[in-house]
Chain A
């Protein structure tokens, strides 16, 4: 391996700045979000009244389930309920 000088090393370190914190956090919360979605969808499948309630306010339903209602997650819930 060739010798690396300070300039090369510093350039390589600088090539990987941190991703925006909110992006990282959203990705890290993916398992919990998926579990929350699965739970909501399962209950909606079994209970038509609950399904209507969820559809009426997707964001609130997610919050009640402890899931941050990010647009991406809300859209996923809408899609899953539409598939039922």
Chain B
């Protein structure tokens, strides 16, 4: 039996979902102070974004994408101290990821003795802008009740079935569709209420 308005209570917390409790700037400051837990949270917060830029934006093969992923976070770790504006960590990471992806494509071209001017197809700016918008939506999602976060993430980002979601969250599978619809309504209200401007490009890759 589905209780009205109970989208937030029942689910066990998924470690993969981020919360909006700590601002990017606060997280960066804690990382810089050597807080390993903050670093873990920072990686968690931006892992999907970096992954999506590499795989969807630049269409890198899985092995190349993994190298890029690790390289990006290694550089972030090493250079966090040079970030001028802690609030700009997201565009900074995005810019860094793009640069590492381009380096990887160039290096691949050299290895295959292709013409350096003939780089593999670079992503359209629209594709990268859409990923920024997707990140905004995920941030808005992180402010929803846990059960809504879980249901929306599992269904749309992890492609899980109603049955799997129901079994995992202890909810009747027959109620998942209506819960999804309600959670999307909440997300829309939340997202449009945020009135998030396009991601700033103030971060500087050093």
Q: Which residues of B contact A30 (CB under 8 A)?
A: 39, 43, 73-74, 77
The answer to whether the Cβ of B105 comes within 8 Å of any Cβ in the partner chain is no
A17–B48 Cα distance when bound, in Å, is 6
Q: How far is the CB of A10 from chain B (nearest CB, A)?
A: 5
On whether the beta carbons of B51 and A19 are closer than 8 Å, the reply is yes
Given the contacts A18-B47, A23-B66, A24-B47, A6 and B181 also touching, CB distance less than 8 Å:
yes
Interface centre among B50, B141, B156, by most chain A C-beta atoms within 10 angstroms, is: B156
Count A/B pairs, Cβ under 8 Å.
Answer: 97
Q: Which residues of A contact B141 (CB under 8 A)?
A: 13
On whether the beta carbons of A34 and B77 are closer than 8 Å, the reply is yes
A13–B188 Cα distance when bound, in Å, is 12
Q: Of the 9-residue stretches B116-124, B131-139, B162-170, which lies at the interface with chain A?
A: B131-139
Q: Which residues of B contact A3 (CB under 8 A)?
A: 188, 192
Q: How far is the CB of A69 from chain B (nearest CB, A)?
A: 15
Which residue from B69, B135, B191, B192 sits with its C-beta under 8 Å from A23? B69
On whether the beta carbons of A32 and B48 are closer than 8 Å, the reply is no
A50–B184 Cα distance when bound, in Å, is 59
A26–B47 Cα distance when bound, in Å, is 11
Which residue from B47, B70, B159, B191 sits with its C-beta under 8 Å from A72? B70
The answer to whether the Cβ of A15 comes within 8 Å of any Cβ in the partner chain is yes
> Chain A interface: which size bin?
20 to 34
On whether the beta carbons of B184 and A10 are closer than 8 Å, the reply is yes
Within 8 A of A (CB), among B33-57: 34, 36, 39-40, 43-44, 47-52, 56
Given the contacts A3-B192, A12-B134, A31-B39, A19 and B77 also touching, CB distance less than 8 Å:
no
Against B, the Cβ 8 Å flags (1 = close, 0 = not) of A1-32 are 10111100110111111111001101110111
The answer to whether the Cβ of B61 comes within 8 Å of any Cβ in the partner chain is no
On whether the beta carbons of B192 and A17 are closer than 8 Å, the reply is no
On whether the beta carbons of A17 and B134 are closer than 8 Å, the reply is no
The answer to whether the Cβ of B1 comes within 8 Å of any Cβ in the partner chain is no
On whether the beta carbons of B69 and A16 are closer than 8 Å, the reply is no
Q: How far is the CB of B120 from chain A (nearest CB, A)?
A: 21
Given the contacts A17-B157, A30-B39, A30-B73, A23 and B134 also touching, CB distance less than 8 Å:
no
20 extra A-B contacts, CB within 8 A, seeds A14-B157, A19-B69, A23-B47:
A4-B191, A5-B188, A6-B181, A9-B187, A10-B184, A12-B137, A13-B137, A13-B152, A13-B153, A15-B130, A16-B134, A16-B138, A17-B52, A20-B66, A23-B69, A24-B44, A26-B70, A27-B74, A30-B73, A31-B34
Interface residues of B (CB under 8 A from A): 16, 34, 36, 39-40, 43-44, 47-52, 56, 66, 69-70, 73-74, 77, 130-131, 133-135, 137-138, 141, 152-153, 156-159, 181, 184, 187-188, 191-192, 195-196
